[in-house]
């Protein structure tokens, strides 16, 4: 610890999606950081990180594979509206794939968070 902690409350409390009274058995385990509480959080973070890594990995694979496939197929010569068709997957497909991956990720993570919330309620 190099310096005394300095708290800056920059952004105030967030709006709550569901009203949950404090004092759920599971919530206390979390705030007091018991072994079980730590396990809860570690599991939650691992799941979220896994989802994020999968999403990014799939997109990275598409990014690397698409141009190589195109190059192998010799599609450069075909044109539509004066633009080579081969560019379409790169400029249209990749961002679209990213957006779809983003939607999928959002849904998965949300489901994981709801599951976590229920588990804490049960205690």
Partner 1 sequence: MTALSAGLYSVLSGLAALGGALRRRSGRAPARPVSPLVHASSIGAEHVSIAVLMGSAGTMLTGGVSVIWMSVGVAAGHLLLVAFAVAPLRRSGAYTLSDFAEWRLRSRSLRRLVTACVTITGCLYLMPQLRGAGLTLRVLLGTPVWTGALATAAFAYLAVVMGVNRRSTAVQAGQYWVKLAVFVVPAVLLLGVAHGRQAAAHTVAGGAWASVVPYGGPAAHYTLYSLLLGMLLGTMGLPNLIGRFHMCADGAAARRTGVLVLGLVSVFTVLPLVIGTLARGHAPQLGVHGHDDLLVLRLPVLMVPGPSGELLTGLLVAGALAAFLTAATGLTFTLAVTIAQCAFGGGVGGFRFGAALAATVAFLGCAYAGSLSTAALAAVAFGVAAATLSPMLLLGLWWRRFTDAGCAAGLVIGLTGTVGPALWKLFGTLPGGLAGALLAMPAACTAPLAFVAMVVVSLATPARIPLDAGSHLIRMHVPEGVLTPTPDR
Between residue 2 and residue 41, which ones bind partner 1 under the rule CB under 8 A?
A: 2-3, 5-6, 8-11, 13-22, 24, 26-27, 30-31, 33, 38, 41
Which residues make Cβ contacts (< 8 Å) with residue 113, sequence separation at least 6? Answer: 44
SS3 track for 58-87? HHHHHHHHHHHHHHHHCCCCCEECCEECCH
Smallest separation, CB 32 to partner 1 (Å):
10
Interaction of residue 72 with partner 1, rule CB under 8 A: no
Interaction of residue 67 with partner 1, rule CB under 8 A: yes
Contact between 119 and 39 under an 8 Å Cβ cutoff? The reply is no
Q: Count the site residues for partner 1 by CB under 8 A.
A: 71
Interaction of residue 122 with partner 1, rule CB under 8 A: no
Smallest separation, CB 36 to partner 1 (Å):
13
Interaction of residue 83 with partner 1, rule CB under 8 A: yes
Contact between 36 and 122 under an 8 Å Cβ cutoff? The reply is no
How far apart are the C-alpha atoms of 114 and 99, rounded to whole Å? 23
How far apart are the C-alpha atoms of 93 and 30, rounded to whole Å? 43
Select 36 or 78, whichever has its Cβ closest to partner 1. Answer: 78
Q: Quick one: which of 39, 65, 99, 123 contacts partner 1 (CB under 8 A)?
A: 99
């Amino acid at each position: 610890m190099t310096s005394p902690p300095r708290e800056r409350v920059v952004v105030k409390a967030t709006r709550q999606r569901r009203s949950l009274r404090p004092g759920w058995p599971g919530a206390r385990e979390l705030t007091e950081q018991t072994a079980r509480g730590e396990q809860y959080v570690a599991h939650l973070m691992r799941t979220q990180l896994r989802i994020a890594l999968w999403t990014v990995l799939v997109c990275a694979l598409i990014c690397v594979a698409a141009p190589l496939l195109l190059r192998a197929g010799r599609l450069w010569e075909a044109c539509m509206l004066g633009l080579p068709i081969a560019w379409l997957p790169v400029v249209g497909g990749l961002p679209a794939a990213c957006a779809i991956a983003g939607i999928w990720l959002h849904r998965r993570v949300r489901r994981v968070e709801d599951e976590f919330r229920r588990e804490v309620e049960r205690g």
